[in-house]
Amino acid sequence: MKNFSPEINIQGQLGNLDWPIFIIVLLITFGSVIYGGRRQKIPNSKNTNQLGLLDHLVMGRQLTLPLFVATLVATWYGGIFGVTKIAFNQGIYNFVTQGVFWYVAYLIFALFMVDKIAPYKAVTLPNLLEKMFGRKSGILGAFFNFFNVLPISYVISIGLFIQLLFNFSLEQSMLIGIGLVLSYSTLGGLRSVVYSDLIQFFVMCTGVALVLILSISTFGGVDFLKTSLPESYFQLTGTNTLATTFIWGLIALSTLVDPNFYQRCFAAKSPKIAKKGIIISTVIWAIFDLCTTFGAMYAKAIIPQAEAGTAYLTYAIQLLPNGLRGFFLAAILATILSTLDSYLFLAGATVGHDLPPKKHQGKKRFIMLGTVASASLAYVLAIYFKGDIKTVWKTLGSYSAACLLIPVVMGQLLKKRISDNHFVLTCLAGVVSTSWWRNAEHYGFAANVDEIYIGSLTTIIFYLIFYIYSQNFIQPKTIN
């Protein structure tokens, strides 16, 4: 059996078939972006701007089931170095916190929320909030939306990938990566993103499946892992407490206010396609998560001294034969790009469509400037977080789940809803309480209480107070 090294020069591992296959996959991906841009519809009518914007942001609401599944699945895995790091360090705890909790949230969205949002005919999540509550709520939602989709962790991921491949510094690698994505992310709106996601979907799913299949055939199945890894790697909470584990459950519920979910549902040809697409995607996500989780566990068993964040890639490159290594590298890059370009597109759309005054909303130059500004800010914050993907997820996910989740979900599920001003006050109260608890010193029992619990409790209390008040004094807002 060949010896695996915890540190490798990836370029030195690549054979004569790897680079051509890697480049071919990239060229096909970029070709799909150009194809999507050329298919963008520019209507010839008095409503050209409005219809053109509809095509740019939601593909004219013509997203079919296969494309829906491909783009939704592909969009979710740009942080592959983050999830494989957790699996390398904690085993199946990763599948629970980064998988099972999220599947529950996906199914809640499909079964209870898709039909609720469809009648509003919105194009973005902030646009939906404006229709539900009012203009102030839409603007506040746009700020939350912006930081929720700001692709900080995915800039880190693309930086780690390029650093491993070419030995640049992380800062240089992140700059090259974000520049590459920025060069094509505004070409054809959501249509270009979806067509590139279709290619990336097949590449990334095939790549991670190959690693698991070859791992099992080379080293054996679960019995091998059980004899090679600590017992905690097979416990649902790993080495963590239940309270710490369930924090990820609340963060997973932030899916219910995730702009990418809403964007895809707004673009679907019908609510039925959106619901069916989410359910099918959940099954594929579960398979993908099993592949990456067990793949990283094999990496821990074979090269335990490897750097946790890149151990999965280091292991896979040494495991795979000539040709498949290039394909796997393309799969990892596709996994990152499919998320990075989606999030960057939405961040730019938020700045260009949701935040400007009505008369400037949706103008192409604002969306392009918004995309450049979003990319620049994501790069700066990626440096600030020092390449720590898990910290980025925890920080931004906590604010999204604690401050925006309750008002948005309750507004969709209850017959009456709170007013525009009350929505803003509820969300801001969550921001204040989350920030205060995050930065305050705690002792005893309080030291184990995460800020996400405090923020969520605050928004629940404020929402209930305003909701009770609205039962007598506020009429429900009708759909526009």
* pLDDT (tens digit per residue) in 115-131: 999 999 998 888 899 99
Report the chain's terminal Cα–Cα distance, integer Å.
66
**What pLDDT was estimated at residue 51?**
53
Residue with tokens 């059980």: 226
Domain formed by 10-407, architecture: Up-down Bundle (1.20)
Structure tokens at 39: 């298919």
**What pLDDT was estimated at residue 111?**
93
Q: Is 44 helix (H, G, I), strand (E, B) or coil?
A: coil
**What pLDDT was estimated at residue 46?**
45
Q: What crossing angle do the helices spanning 389-399 and 420-439 adopt, rounded to 10°?
A: 140
**What pLDDT was estimated at residue 257?**
85
Segment 201-226 shows an average pLDDT of 94
**What pLDDT was estimated at residue 327?**
93
Residues 6+ apart with CB under 8 A from 275: 110, 111, 114, 115
Q: Write the pLDDT tens digit of every residue in 36-49.
A: 767 665 544 444 45
Q: Which of 309, 283, 327, 269 is nearest to 390 (CA)?
A: 309
Segment 341-345 shows an average pLDDT of 85
pTM of the complete model: 0.85
Higher pLDDT, 334 or 273: 273
**What pLDDT was estimated at residue 393?**
59
Q: Write the pLDDT tens digit of every residue in 75-85.
A: 887 678 889 99
Q: Which of 150, 148, 149, 138 is nearest to 354 (CA)?
A: 138
Higher pLDDT, 416 or 139: 139
Rg (CA), the chain: 22
* Lowest-pLDDT choice from 56-60, 156-160, 323-327, 387-391: 387-391
Q: Which of 305, 97, 74 is nearest to 193 (CA)?
A: 74
**What pLDDT was estimated at residue 284?**
95
What residue segments make up the domains of the chain, in order of their start?
10-407
**What pLDDT was estimated at residue 352?**
81
Q: Is 268 helix (H, G, I), strand (E, B) or coil?
A: strand
**What pLDDT was estimated at residue 47?**
44
State yes or no: pLDDT of 184 exceeds 50.
yes
Segment 79-108 shows an average pLDDT of 92
**What pLDDT was estimated at residue 230?**
93
Segment 267-280 shows an average pLDDT of 95
**Average pLDDT taken over every residue of the chain:** 85
Task: Report yes or no: 121 and 272 within 8 Å, Cβ to Cβ.
Answer: no
Structure tokens at 444: 């005893």
Residues 6+ apart with CB under 8 A from 432: 458
What is the share, in percent, of the chain residues with pLDDT greater than 90?
A: 38
**What pLDDT was estimated at residue 45?**
44
**What pLDDT was estimated at residue 52?**
63
Q: Write the pLDDT tens digit of every residue in 284-311.
A: 999 999 999 999 999 999 999 999 988 9
Please state, in angstroms and rounded to a whole number, the distance separating the CA atoms of residues 76 and 328. 18
* Lowest-pLDDT choice from 304-308, 360-364, 442-446: 360-364
State yes or no: pLDDT of 15 exceeds 60.
yes
Segment 345-374 shows an average pLDDT of 79
State yes or no: pLDDT of 394 exceeds 50.
yes
C-alpha atoms less than 13 angstroms from C-alpha of 428 in its C-beta half-sphere: 10
**What pLDDT was estimated at residue 48?**
42
Q: Write the pLDDT tens digit of every residue in 144-172.
A: 888 878 888 888 888 988 988 888 898 99
* Lowest-pLDDT choice from 230-244, 312-326, 433-447: 433-447
What pLDDT band is residue 109 in, cutting at 50, 70 and 90?
A: very high
State yes or no: pLDDT of 364 exceeds 70.
no
Please state, in angstroms and rounded to a whole number, the distance separating the CA atoms of residues 117 and 421. 21
